[in-house]
Chain A
Amino acid sequence: MLLALGASLIVAVALLFDLVGPALVEAWKRMRARRRRLENFLMADPGRERRAEQRARELLRSCVNDEEWSMYRELGFIRVWSAREAHDSGGEVAYLIYPHRPLISFLVSTGTPLQEHCVVFPDDPGPGGSDRLPDSDDVLAKWMSLTGDELRFLATANEHAVGRQVKIDQVRSDIWRLSRWEGSRMRAAAHDEPDASAPVHTD
């Protein structure tokens, strides 16, 4: 009698588990996920991204030249000259490197935007769950790839007409700002240099 009752109980439990088991497992997983999200939220360090960007800026500064660093700090992008012979474009080509936006190629002589070169550097998600490099690391990665192996880098990128991700008005404005910025630097440099034509007074 007891044996029969026991067997029935086992069968009943097994059937019950079959019915509610998957729902229980699902609920358990949801609870764990909620708890993990809560823990991540509570342990999130609001300064982490800022410190990461600070380190990235220092690394960028140590790699690029003074002009490029000033350009990035003051204009928000870096101009890199192309090593390519631009027969098809009719002149010298350069790129604007923005953080987390496509590279923009343009014709130096006329300032005409040529193309958007869309490229990303997807990383494994960091502690905050983001796979994005800090802004200045993204700029440095593009700068190194462009100056190191332009053709290989461009072969990786998806090319589009300018205006797809970066507004063409902004590109034109940035190219104009760059020329003004360079002009003012050249004037400042000329002002600082001693004038060779000035008379030299000796005692």
Chain B
Amino acid sequence: MKSGHGEVVIAEGDVNAAEDEERLMEEFRRQIESGLWAAVPVQDAMNQRSARMVRSFEDVPRDAERVIFMPRAAGG
């Protein structure tokens, strides 16, 4: 998510394809190093929805459809 834009797709790919995974991993690292937070929307067996905050690419579930990056929160 980005001011003045809303959702912007940064990278897409299949984590099971080595080349894609490398690219996604690199992009993930770039976003985190630029100071963004990352979250993965999840749904449990009871259909309850929530998010999982992830700090490294390894934390992202392999079956995750997307990772959402957002600006880091600060006290307002």
Contact = CB atoms under 8 A, between A and B. Distances in A.
Given A63-B41, A145-B39, A157-B73, A131 B3 contact: yes
B67 to A, nearest CB: 11
Interface in A31-70: 48-49, 51-56, 58-59, 62-65, 68
Nearest to A156: B73
Contacts of A68: 49
Contacts of B68: 59, 63, 140, 144
A133 to B, nearest CB: 5
Chain B interface: which size bin?
20 to 34
B3 A64 contact: no
Given A131-B3, A133-B1, A158-B76, A65 B71 contact: no
B74 interface: yes
B75 A118 contact: yes
A149 B72 CA distance: 13
Main SS of the interface on chain B?
strand
Contacts of A130: 3-4
A90 interface: no
Contacts of B41: 62-63, 144
Contact of A65 (B5, B37, B48, B53): B48
B70 interface: yes
B53 A144 contact: yes
Between B6, B52, B72, B73, the greatest number of chain A beta carbons within 10 A of the residue's beta carbon is seen for: B6
A65 B53 CA distance: 18
Chain A interface: which size bin?
35 or more
Contact of B73 (A49, A53, A64, A153): A153
Nearest to A153: B73
Contacts of A53: 6
A64 B49 contact: yes
Interface in B33-68: 37, 39, 41, 47-53, 68
15 contacts: A55-B5, A59-B68, A63-B51, A65-B47, A68-B49, A119-B75, A119-B76, A131-B3, A133-B1, A134-B1, A141-B71, A144-B51, A145-B53, A145-B73, A148-B39
